[in-house]
Amino acid sequence: MHSFQFWQNPERDVAEVSRVLRPGGMLLLVLRRHEERATQRAGGLLNRIARSGDEVNQIRKLLLSGVFEQVIVDDDRYVNASKMT
């Protein structure tokens, strides 16, 4: 998915993704690096995690908070999470 930064309620939306994934299923998030001007222009469109400046670490923490058992971050942009079985 390449739309995470626009999810208005990331906790609720991650729970919904988990609900529809089969056990052992996989979620792949692709994150864009936002330069500060682009983030300011997007303003209210970006969720609080995307605006935080620490997006990858906050997403990892969210995914590991009981929903996904393994989170792999590749090149600080690709987040691959495996659902608990």
Rounded Cα gap, residues 46 and 7, in angstroms: 8
Query: Taking the domains of the chain in order of start, what are their residue ranges?
Result: 4-83
pTM: 0.73
pLDDT digits (tens, 9 = 90+) for 46-64: 888 887 878 888 988 999 8
Range with top average pLDDT, 14-18, 31-35, 39-43, 78-82: 14-18
DSSP 36: H
pLDDT at 9: 93
Task: Give the CB-side neighbour count of residue 24, counting CA atoms within 13 A.
Answer: 0
pLDDT at 11: 92
**CATH fold of the domain at 4-83:** Rossmann fold (3.40.50)
Task: Return the closest-CA partner of residue 56 out of 36, 31, 28, 80.
Answer: 31
